[in-house]
């Protein structure tokens, strides 16, 4: 197991290197706006652009730039500086991370509770009205785009433009450290909106898995032992049905920690997602590079974590 993890960690390093390289290459090879020109302001003189280009190191060959970037990153954990305003990328990312983590963690909690709850109820009452209604609703939830849901939610409930103005609307995010209550209320809508499609997907997935598992011979054995139906479903059934969901959950959470671009944009939450969006619009390579690396980092670690958890969840899985 230890050797397995060590080998996987080596892979993680390699993957992150590959991701950084590919992002770099894409930025250079594909047409994009000239960051120096963007920085220079309106109608800049060519000499100003040239001096900015020199200052940012953009006049050097890409491999020199990449080498310097990687050297700083590895030796000093330095992600470089934003082309746009000179702020250290590391600082930018760390200032944005709490918002993204708040959003992702709260939504994940919500969609797990709702998704798993609905999935279990639907699975133990297959083909009833309750089952059909919840699964139909889930299909709607999966199909509804998150930016549309976000706008609808704002239109309905936000305190400024809402029909029923009961919740703080867009642009109301307050860090947890500043005011926990405002932090909570400002995130209620984003959490719900972000959680809808996940909850819907998880409930359908769990319903499918659990219905299948409840037909297994070992469930009949559990019933033949005289266990209560609750224990049969929640201990014996859920134990098997939840395993694939753990895998997906790890990956979903990993992806979201790297920034929920649409939700953050609709609700104007200053998280990683909005940072990456803004940096792409401004061709701000160091920031793009930083957010991409962060996203990749979360995803590969979520993956590794899931694989390790899996060995504990399913005793038949053994890593050599």
Mark 242-281 with x for binding to other proteins (rule: CB under 8 A) and - for no binding.
-x--------------------------------------
Mark 154-173 with x for binding to other proteins (rule: CB under 8 A) and - for no binding.
--------------------
**Count of residues that bind other proteins according to CB under 8 A:** 21
Residue 180 φ then ψ, to 5°: -55, -35
Would you say 54 or 239 has its CB closer to other proteins? Answer: 239
Assess 313 for contact with other proteins (CB under 8 A): yes
Assess 316 for contact with other proteins (CB under 8 A): yes
Cα distance between residue 306 and residue 31, in whole Å: 37
Cα distance between residue 102 and residue 90, in whole Å: 19
Cβ contacts of 104-110, under 8 Å, gap ≥ 24: 104/194, 104/253, 104/256, 104/257, 104/260, 106/187, 106/191, 107/190, 107/191, 107/194, 107/195, 107/198, 107/256, 107/260, 108/195, 108/198, 108/249, 108/252, 108/253, 108/256, 110/191, 110/192, 110/195, 110/199
Closest distance to other proteins from the beta carbon of 223 (Å): 6
Closest distance to other proteins from the beta carbon of 320 (Å): 16
Would you say 160 or 215 has its CB closer to other proteins? Answer: 215
Closest distance to other proteins from the beta carbon of 208 (Å): 19
Using an 8 Å Cβ cutoff, are 209 and 244 in contact? yes
Residue 63 φ then ψ, to 5°: -70, -30
Tokens at residue 291, please?
A: 């957010």
Q: What is the DSSP letter of 42?
A: S
Task: Single out the segment in contact with other proteins by CB under 8 A; choices: 178-186, 196-204, 260-268, 307-315.
Answer: 307-315
Closest distance to other proteins from the beta carbon of 219 (Å): 8
Would you say 71 or 225 has its CB closer to other proteins? Answer: 225
Would you say 91 or 228 has its CB closer to other proteins? Answer: 228
Q: Give one word for 122, left, alpha or beta, with left for phi > 0 and alpha for psi -120 to 50.
A: alpha
Burial of 316 (0-12, 13-18, 19+ CB in 10 A): exposed
Closest distance to other proteins from the beta carbon of 314 (Å): 6
Judged by CB under 8 A, the chain residues 183 through 242 that form the site for other proteins are: 216-218, 220-229, 236, 239-240
Would you say 178 or 217 has its CB closer to other proteins? Answer: 217
Would you say 3 or 318 has its CB closer to other proteins? Answer: 318
Cα distance between residue 253 and residue 261, in whole Å: 14
Closest distance to other proteins from the beta carbon of 8 (Å): 23
Closest distance to other proteins from the beta carbon of 225 (Å): 4
Residues that bind other proteins (CB under 8 A): 216-218, 220-229, 236, 239-240, 243, 313-316
């Amino acid at each position: 197991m230890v050797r397995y993890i060590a080998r996987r960690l080596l892979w993680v390093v390699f993957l992150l290197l590959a991701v950084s390289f590919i992002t770099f290459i894409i930025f250079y090879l594909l047409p994009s706006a000239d960051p120096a020109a963007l920085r220079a302001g309106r109608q800049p003189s060519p000499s100003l652009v040239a001096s900015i280009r020199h200052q940012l190191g953009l006049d050097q060959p890409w491999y020199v730039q990449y080498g310097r970037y990687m050297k700083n990153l590895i030796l000093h954990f330095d992600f470089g500086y934003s082309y746009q305003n000179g702020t250290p990328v590391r600082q930018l990312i760390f200032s944005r991370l709490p918002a993204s983590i708040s959003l992702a963690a709260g939504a994940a909690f919500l969609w797990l509770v709702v998704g798993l709850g609905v999935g279990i109820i639907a699975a133990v009452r297959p083909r009833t009205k309750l089952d059909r209604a919840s699964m139909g609703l889930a299909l709607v939830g999966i199909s509804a785009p998150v930016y549309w849901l976000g706008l609808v939610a704002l239109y309905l409930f936000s305190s400024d433009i809402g029909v029923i103005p009961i919740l703080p609307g867009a642009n109301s995010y307050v860090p947890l450290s500043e005011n926990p209550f405002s932090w909570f209320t400002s995130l209620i809508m984003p959490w719900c909106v972000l959680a809808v499609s996940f909850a819907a997907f998880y409930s359908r997935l769990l319903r499918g898995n659990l219905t299948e598992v409840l037909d297994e011979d070992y469930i009949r054995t559990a019933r033949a032992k005289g266990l209560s139906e609750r224990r049969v479903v929640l201990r014996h059934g859920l134990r098997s049905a939840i395993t694939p969901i753990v895998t997906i959950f790890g990956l979903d959470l990993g992806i979201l920690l790297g920034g929920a671009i649409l939700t953050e944009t609709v609700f104007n939450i200053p998280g990683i997602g909005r940072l990456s969006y803004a940096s792409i619009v401004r061709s701000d390579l160091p920031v793009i590079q930083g957010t991409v690396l962060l996203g990749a980092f979360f995803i590969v670690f979520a993956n590794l974590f899931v694989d390790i958890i899996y060995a504990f969840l399913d005793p038949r899985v053994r890593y050599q």
